[in-house]
Amino acid sequence: MNAPKVSRATLRGAVVLTVEEHSLPVVRFVIALRRGSAVDPEGQSGALRAMMELMLRGTDSKSRERFNAELEELGSSFNAVPGSEAAYFRGVALKRNLGATVNLIAEALSAPAFDAEEHAALIDEMVQALASDRDDDDTVAELFLRRAFYKGHPLQRSPLGEAPQVAKLDMEALRRLHANRVVASDIIVAFAGDITPDESLQAANVIVEKLPAGTAPSPLGASLPALPEPKGLRIVVADKPDRAQVQLRVANPGLAGVHPDTLALWLGIVAFGGTFTSPLTQEVRDVRGWSYVAHADFSRRQVLPSPIVLRSVPPKENAVDCLALEIELMDKLAQGQLPQAVLERSRSYMLGRYPFEVATAADMLNPVLRCELLGEPATEIFATPSRIEALSDAQVRAALIKHLQPANLTVAMVSTAADIRDELARKLPAATIEVVDFRTELGG
């Protein structure tokens, strides 16, 4: 199989990436801001999201309706995706309409209208959406886990924002953010599909030439305080009435994408809880029938250390036992107790699956961007299979032993507190337990 070609260039401080594949007359593209919501001003949670959304609601010369109509007439799309580490504008266009599409995008990035009526409508929509999120237990669990795991750190803020702070985002704050963040030196422009490197530079120049040059941003890690060190078993119960099931999250500190042990740790976590046949899934779902969902996640290609998170949804009568079991399984994993057959099955699974991640230009766009954010060459994505094959079982177990901290886990549970609090205290006496009202804490 011939993988798409990848190239990199710079243009007025911006990086231009090209993933070249001419099988279809389609071009996908991303304009990435190297710094995400983690560096938003204090007290302005959701500011980056609001700024990005408002940029797509009209320009100095086009109303929102006209801008969208012109984009749709081309058959193109363009949307904003905020994130903690980085933020993305993503789109797609037919090759023949790429030039006209890029002209529209350049206008949105460099000359957004920041219309007062659109601003008021957007803030209202965001606040209402955040309020509705409280009805989804899965979302609530993720929010409270983030708050507990990153307590006191900028990463505790969701990129989507928090309703009380979003409601106070004024236009001038968003204008300042745009002036500081949408600059050539802080962006990556990536194209994938039916496009050559020269054509990418031409298209990128249309965008970059209209932006201020800016100054090279500091590395994300240097812009933020050190991550908090976990101490002991901490459990946060988001108290929500009448819960028959409990959304359960268990987080262990992880590693940054460039750490030399990250790949080994990731392979061990996949083996432990990343497939339907892994020990975590088997013990929770198949042996005990406590939760259909029983999964371990570790996002290994992050700039900042990413936690290892166990996710399950047991019924309230089994929730505490399920948590105790997951802690016990983590403790055994931290001792290197991972059967060879399980590890080899996971290795085979990942090697068999990996070609799908680089099969097309569209598949490669995100991994290539991630390499750039990590400061690695884009060709690093092709080296992953050989690196997985080169990892010995002993290296994987050593990484698990070194980096798992079963005594220092952070737990978030969305539950009716009265149903589980006493049992938590009885069965996990070493834990620090905090009960919070989910509605009050989320600004309701």
Q: Is the pLDDT higher at 394 or at 443? A: 394
pLDDT value at 1 more than 50? no
What is d(CA 408, CA 229) in angstroms, rounded to the nearest whole number?
Answer: 9
Question: What average pLDDT does this structure show over 148-167?
Answer: 93
CA distance 252 to 171: 39
- Decide if 154 contacts 433 (C-beta within 8 A): no
Give the C-alpha separation, 75 to 77, whole Å.
Answer: 7
Q: What angle, 0 to 180 degrees and rounded to 10, lies between the N-to-C axes of helices 98-110 and 64-73?
A: 160
| Domain 234-441, CATH number (from 1.10.3720.10, 3.50.50.60, 3.30.830.10, 3.30.750.24) | 3.30.830.10
Please tell me the CATH code under which domain 5-222 is placed: 3.30.830.10
Cβ 249 vs Cβ 411: under 8 Å: yes
What's the whole-number mean pLDDT along residues 177-206? 96
Q: Where are the domains of the chain?
A: 5-222, 234-441
**% pLDDT > 90, the chain:** 88
Helix (H, G, I), strand (E, B) or coil at 194: coil
Looking at residues 115-125, what average pLDDT do you find? 97
pLDDT score, position 180: 92
For the cut 60, the answer to whether the pLDDT of residue 132 exceeds it is yes
Q: Say what the pLDDT of residue 65 is.
A: 96
- Give the residue carrying structure tokens 């992953």: 384
Tokens read off for 184: 């050539």
* Average pLDDT score over residue span 375-382: 90
pLDDT per residue over 66-98, tens digit each? 999 999 999 999 999 999 999 999 999 999 999
Indicate whether 53 pLDDT > 90: yes
The arithmetic mean of pLDDT across residues 205-221, rounded, is 89
* pLDDT tens-place string over residues 233-247: 999 999 999 999 999
Share of the chain above pLDDT 70, in %: 98
Question: In the predicted model, what is the mean pLDDT of residues 307-333?
Answer: 98
Contacts with 176 (C-beta within 8 Å, 6 or more apart), sequence order: none
| pLDDT confidence of residue 16 | 97
This model's pTM is above 0.85: yes
User: Of 123, 126, 153, nearest to 39 (Cα)?
Assistant: 153
Angle formed by the axes of helices 171-181 and 116-133, to 10°? Answer: 90
pLDDT band at 443 (very low <50, low <70, confident <90, very high): low
pLDDT, residue 263, reads 97
**For residue 444, is pLDDT > 60?**
no
Q: What is the pLDDT of residues 242-300, one digit of tens each?
A: 999 999 999 999 999 999 999 999 999 999 999 999 999 999 999 999 999 999 999 99
**Nearest of 322, 278, 298 to residue 411 by alpha carbon:** 322
Per-residue model confidence (pLDDT) at position 442? 61
390-410 pLDDT, tens digit per residue, is 999 999 999 999 999 999 999
CA distance 221 to 246: 34
Q: What pLDDT is recorded for position 117? A: 96
pLDDT at 416: 97
Distance CA 303, CA 223 (A): 12
Q: For residue 213, is pLDDT > 50?
A: yes
Query: How does residue 438 score in pLDDT terms, banded at 50, 70 and 90?
Result: confident
The pLDDT mean for the chain works out to 94
Q: In CATH terms, are 5-222 and 234-441 the same topology?
A: yes
